[in-house]
Structure 1
Amino acid sequence: MTDNTPLLDVSNLRVAFPTRTGMAEAVRGVSFTLGREKLGIVGESGSGKSMTGRSILRLVPPPGRVTADRLAFNGEDLLAASPRRMRDIRGRRIAIVMQDPKYSLNPVMTVGRQIAEAYRVHSKAGAAEAKRRALEMLAAVRIRDPERVYDRYPHEVSGGMGQRIMIAMMLIPDPDLLIADEPTSALDVTVQMQVLAILDDLCSQRGMGMIFVSHDLNLVASFCDRILIMYAGRVVESCRASELHAAQHPYTRGLLASLPRIDEPPGDLPVLSRDPAWSADGLEA
């Protein structure tokens, strides 16, 4: 990749699902570029942030339809790539960490075998070499006594350790891009900070790009270099994390000013079969 070529180039990305009332667009014309940096995508549930991440790897479940004017990784058109080529890209070049390790780890395999298997699939290494690399990755994500943890099953580890194991599994092929889909939302604050510190160190050491998907604006602002704010499938604000305080869109300003209150009902999600509009006071018209 040349210095002028972005790691990821996304233009007019759309994800739509057929419904009884017409096509519902979960992602509506999203555009951005990504270098070897940390990009945060923030929005409430249903805003399209996770679907954006999945569509990059063409993991949108049918009957969902993904279209884009451009969806290129390292200059390669991902929408034109064959299923075999996408299998090669997934994991080896682009990795994704899901929100809850309980649903991502195989419950009948030890965690060490699962990490080693991820390495063997992409490197064709032998069993001994794969185990050695798996133990190195367990140590890299700051798990004490990797030899002991290697032989444990997913139900025998905590949520925080399970998330570290997932990170180790996704990073063992040494990808160029990591998509982290709310990797800390199920963790307590202390473990959250530990996981973020691990991700930050690994990104710096390996020169990776990262897309960090979250609903926590303050967390993303403190961790990422740039931020995209999504609402109803659209990017309504794009800025550097250091410039978030000067956000212009009323939805972003509302997020910054909002605090949850137990005496007020939660807001309603927008209807995805129509395009939301904004009134002068910043509320959906």
Structure 2
Amino acid sequence: MTDRLLDVENLRVSFDTRTGTIEAVRGISFTLGRERLGIVGESGSGKSMTGRAVLKLIRPPGRVEADRLAFGDTDILHASDREMRALRGRHISMVMQDPKFSLNPVMTVGAQMVEALRVHERISGAKAQARALEMLEEVAIREPERVLRLYPHEVSGGMGQRIMIAMMLLPQPEVLIADEPTSALDVSVQLQVLDIMDKLVRDRGMGLMFISHDLNLVAKFCDRIIIMYAGRIVETCKASELHKAQHPYTLGLLNAVPDLEHPRERLDVLVRDPAWRAAPSVSARQ
């Protein structure tokens, strides 16, 4: 990691409800440089909330607090709405998990991609459309000219996900937060998309926060891994050293992965330990 792009210290996300305050993220700390950082955990562990909190996309009654939340010299926590609009997309982009809720149903794919680029760059419509075509080709979409004329309901879930990835990469952000970006893709296209992200990190010096349930995928693709449970970081390590993990939850995740070479009749079961929920977060700052 050559330098810090994101600096997160004691990040907390909570929601006030009629029955009390629910803590979705409980004081986590980490940094992101020009690298591939994987965040892994079960549903409800706080992975997606962490990504959304970085971009201040938590709506009331949600509340985001932190000792420090910064992109370079920009204090995200205290940034104005205008400053956040300039930051989102141009410097930090996020690919949401389900493209059905991210793409505008009444605009064509081409119109949305062109708009996403022209909001941040002074560029003609023709040049923006040419860039959109190039990016669609990069994410392995056939007949990109035809796809640009389609509406979101006319594309499959996998194609919609690739369109979202292409749209978020158009302004060439310095940080990309990818929330399960390959979950709707078949294996061959998944590898193509991962190759694209890997190339962006290497060639552009981009930082990638890769959120996933797939521990094997993250271990093979990312440089560092953060394991989250119940809104806290329980373990952090280099991807190459995942086999040295010590926390019971990480070991449980590893033991629950099917082994095709040594098949088992039954997989290990994760047993929830109340002590994990109460334990303090492990810092993943460098």
Query: TM-score surpassing 0.5?
Result: yes
Report the Cα distance in structure 2 between the residues aligned to 1:5 and 1:265, rounded to whole angstroms.
39
Q: Are positions 1:162 and 2:163 aligned together?
A: no
Q: Are positions 1:147 and 2:148 aligned together?
A: no
> Are 1:46 and 1:269, in contact at CA under 8 Å, matched by a contact in 2?
no
Question: Identity of counterpart residues, as a percentage?
Answer: 68
Report the Cα distance in structure 1 between the residues aligned to 2:265 and 2:58, rounded to whole angstroms.
35
Q: Which amino acid aligns with 1:131?
A: Q
Report the Cα distance in structure 2 between the residues aligned to 1:19 and 1:263, rounded to whole angstroms.
40
How many residues in Structure 1 have an aligned counterpart in Structure 2? Answer: 274
Query: CA distance change for structure 1 residues 13 and 46 in 2, over 3 Å: closer, same or farther?
Result: same
Aligned twin of 1:42: 40
Aligned twin of 2:188: 190
Query: CA distance change for structure 1 residues 269 and 116 in 2, over 3 Å: closer, same or farther?
Result: farther
1:215, CA displacement in angstroms? Answer: 1.0
Aligned twin of 2:277: 276
Report the Cα distance in structure 1 between the residues aligned to 2:199 and 2:277, rounded to whole angstroms.
39
1:32, CA displacement in angstroms? Answer: 0.6
| 1:133-180 alpha-carbon deviations (Å, 9 max, x no partner) | 211221222323322221122222222221111111111111000000
Considering only aligned residues, what root-mean-square deviation do their CA atoms show, in Å? Answer: 2.4
Aligned twin of 2:105: 107
Query: CA distance change for structure 1 residues 95 and 104 in 2, over 3 Å: closer, same or farther?
Result: same
Aligned twin of 1:77: 75
Aligned twin of 2:261: none
Aligned twin of 1:180: 178
| 1:208-248 alpha-carbon deviations (Å, 9 max, x no partner) | 10000011111111111000000000000010000000001
> Are 1:95 and 1:170, in contact at CA under 8 Å, matched by a contact in 2?
yes
| 1:195-215 alpha-carbon deviations (Å, 9 max, x no partner) | 222222233232210000011
Q: Are positions 1:226 and 2:227 aligned together?
A: no
> Are 2:35 and 2:223, in contact at CA under 8 Å, matched by a contact in 1?
yes
Q: Which amino acid aligns with 1:91?
A: G
Gaps of 5+ in 2: 259-263, 280-286
> Are 1:27 and 1:51, in contact at CA under 8 Å, matched by a contact in 2?
yes
Report the Cα distance in structure 2 between the residues aligned to 1:54 and 1:30, rounded to whole angstroms.
14
> Are 2:165 and 2:181, in contact at CA under 8 Å, matched by a contact in 1?
no
Q: Which amino acid aligns with 1:134?
A: A
Q: Which amino acid aligns with 1:61?
A: R
Aligned twin of 2:199: 201
Secondary structure at 1:144 match in 2 = coil
Secondary structure at 1:92 match in 2 = coil
Query: CA distance change for structure 1 residues 158 and 198 in 2, over 3 Å: closer, same or farther?
Result: farther
Secondary structure at 1:253 match in 2 = helix
- Of 72, 86, 95, 1:97 maps to 95
Q: Which moved more, 1:27-36 or 1:200-209?
A: 200-209
> Are 1:91 and 1:175, in contact at CA under 8 Å, matched by a contact in 2?
yes
Q: Which amino acid aligns with 2:150?
A: R
| 1:233-270 alpha-carbon deviations (Å, 9 max, x no partner) | 00000100000000011110111111479989986878
Secondary structure at 2:4 match in 1 = coil
Query: CA distance change for structure 1 residues 41 and 264 in 2, over 3 Å: closer, same or farther?
Result: closer
Report the Cα distance in structure 2 between the residues aligned to 1:13 and 1:193, rounded to whole angstroms.
32
Secondary structure at 1:60 match in 2 = coil
Q: Which amino acid aligns with 1:137?
A: M
1:187, CA displacement in angstroms? Answer: 2.7
| 1:44-84 alpha-carbon deviations (Å, 9 max, x no partner) | 00000100000000001211111111111012210111111
